[in-house]
Amino acid sequence: MRGSEVHGGSYAVVAGEERLGSGTVRSDADGIGVTYQVSNNGRGAHLEEWIRTDSDELPVSWTIDGKSDLGGSVAERMDTDGSSRSWVSQADEGRDPDGARKLYIAADCSPYAGWLYARAALGAGGSVDALPSGKVRASVSDQVRVGDTEVDVVTVTGASLFPQYLFADAGANLVASIGGGSTYREILVREDVVTQANTLSRVQAQVTADALEGIQQRVRNRYDGLVRIRNVRIFDPHEKRLTGPSSVTVWRGRFTRIEPGDTEPAGPGDTIIDGAGGTLVAGFHDMHVHLSAWSSLYYLAAGVTTVRDMGNDNQMLDELVGRIDAGVVAGPTVLRSGLIEARSPYSVRADVVAESLGEALAGVHWYADRGYHQIKLYNSIPAEWVAPLAAEAHRLGLRVVGHLPAFTTAHAMIEAGYDEITHLNQLMLGWLLEEGEDSRTMVRVTSMARGAGLDLSSEAVRRTIALMRERGIGLDATVGFMERVLRMRSRTGLEADAPFLSHMPVSFQRGRRRTWVPTTDEKELAAYHAAFATMLDLVTVVDGNGLDVWPGTDDEGTGFTYHRELELLVAAGLAPATVLRRATYDCARYLGLERDHGSVEYGKVASCVLLDGDPTVDIGAVRAVRMVMKDGDAYFPADIYRELGVEPFSPPPAVRRPTDEPASA
């Protein structure tokens, strides 16, 4: 991959037909300069970088200034002094005396950094040790023609949570970069081939699909004959308690015999899974995800067997769901929400960005024709459109959820037809914003600092809660995501991340040790911290009024934040057994799936999770996932995590297959 070794060019940031930003790369004898900016959904990173590399293409100096996606300040430095490298970032600072032969992974950088990583790893034979830790690998997987240009397809792993896909021309210059975790297929693409962005996206999707199909063949355990899960205590959502020691039989993807004790003799063709006294609970539901091909593995490993996708690249999601349903790749069952946005300077990138009410109504019809579960309205939708959109959606059998359109309130949107409110902060905006403040901007986050002083017994709050109770309006709270936005701090992160963070790739660890809110003022940071306590109190109020609070993450797709979501519902005052029921049976019933899902009962689909410990006593036991069964296929998270470059957490259960030595009765 060594060619002209000239870094330069003008790039666009695109998603589908939408141009979201730009990048400029320039180089001279002193180094490489990168200017990067993106604006999407009222937010976006703006960065200036300057990099010098050595003869092995390892960065020896790197400065990054600007702001991160949510507006946090960026001022990162890495320098080389003899044989050592030192760095200072929002996440950490350090010095490595042997760092001169290692690749520094930046904490806050543009997508162009992936190309620096690729060149360094390829130049070292395919892999290179990284700073602050880890190893980066790169490989050339294919060569394709894009327009008039032959490009190599390069996959980089180890530098981030998901693989990064890069396209390079014959001169070893970057043509395009696509992150493997990108929900909307955001692409950094050189201006001369910008019209080929969709072609590049399709190539990336196929490379990803091939990789995931290989992983599925290695991690899925499909057993012939009877499967007997022995020595488990089963969570009964109806009684909200665990049974005594029990045995569960699975036949052709469904639960059949469920009995106390373990008295049934094992037949010669039976597969025996030893639960070792653990808890067997129905598969979890995450009610707020934006699924990508790679994140589907993380959700499954975390015990999440059903997700509600809350807005996505429709073609990508349709293809992914088709592969999951066919068993070609691993992933949860998916219910789809159709995202509808209106055109404005702050529009989120979506497949339906309407210029008129008529176009928005056509979007409702498009989603209804394709069997979507509901529509999700977004920030730029004019408030006056909501009533006719909701009426048409309801006529066609779709539910209506979403963010608040700018300059209105949750109360008004419920009256206009919302069936559910999305995000705690969206519920609170009408009580916190001053007249004229625009929630299409980051004010929808920054205004939360005022939440510390919100009186939850005020007339405005009580009036909206009463309306929610009258109409049975639930709350898709995303409590864990709000904790991360409001309470995560540079260098320290969140205590809640301690159970899993050290197992993750280094760039992910560093990303979880930054301040997301756009301020460093200690008084304002304290206000954000206190505001989250108010949010937990609001969850208590909503639940105390008999309303449903649904567990959902809206996070990067690791699955680990789902466990935190359940812990926070307990912190808000819900009993652990109530939270387990909410995450399993209640979600299934709400989604219309309770006939086949939501509990470990005779005749239901065999989707379940084997946990160490008793989550009805300590909800933290949901983190100790030893096995996940999806539609009768068994997956051991330890196997999945090894494929993803994550250090496993819990050992798999002992399994005796028919080819093993016979077991006693």
Residue-wise pLDDT for 258-295, tens only, equals 999 876 777 888 999 999 999 999 999 999 999 999 99
Among 321-330, 598-607, 641-650, which is the least confidently predicted range? 641-650
Residues of the chain with pLDDT > 90: what percent? 75
State the average pLDDT over residues 93-110.
90
pLDDT at 510: 87
Residue 536 near residue 548, CB atoms below 8 Å: no
Q: So where are the chain's domains?
A: 9-217, 284-590
Distance CA 363, CA 120 (A): 46
Query: Which amino acid is residue 625, in one-letter code?
Result: V
Pick the CATH number of 284-590 from 3.20.20.140, 3.30.390.50, 3.40.50.300, 3.40.50.1100: 3.20.20.140
- Given a cut of 50, whether residue 4 has pLDDT beyond it is no
Confidence of residue 458 (pLDDT cuts 50, 70, 90): very high
Averaged pLDDT score across all residues of the chain: 92
For Cα atoms 539, 541, 546, give the angle at the middle one, nearest 5 degrees: 100
pLDDT at 664: 46
> What's the CATH fold of domain 9-217?
outer membrane lipoprotein receptor (LolB), chain A (2.50.20)
State in Å, rounded, how far the first CA of the chain is from the last one. 60
Among 257-266, 412-421, 638-647, which is the least confidently predicted range? 257-266
Distance CA 494, CA 45 (A): 22
pLDDT at 303: 98
**Residue with the two structure tokens 């240009």:** 149
Distance CA 302, CA 553 (A): 12
Among 132-146, 165-179, 651-665, which is the least confidently predicted range? 651-665
State the average pLDDT over residues 158-170.
90
Neighbours of 268 (CB within 10 A): 7
pLDDT digit string, tens, across residues 515-569 = 888 888 899 999 999 999 999 999 999 999 999 999 999 987 888 899 999 999 9
| 433 secondary structure, DSSP code | P
pLDDT at 262: 76
Residue 239 CB-density burial (10 A; 0-12 exposed, 13-18 middle, 19+ buried): exposed
Distance CA 104, CA 52 (A): 12
pLDDT at 665: 40
pLDDT at 506: 82
Do strands 304-309 and 625-630 pair parallel, antiparallel, or not at all (unpaired)? unpaired
Residue 360 near residue 352, CB atoms below 8 Å: yes
Give the number of residues written for the chain.
665
Tell me the HSE value of 562 on the side-chain side, using a 13 A CA sphere: 31
Neighbours of 51 (CB within 10 A): 24
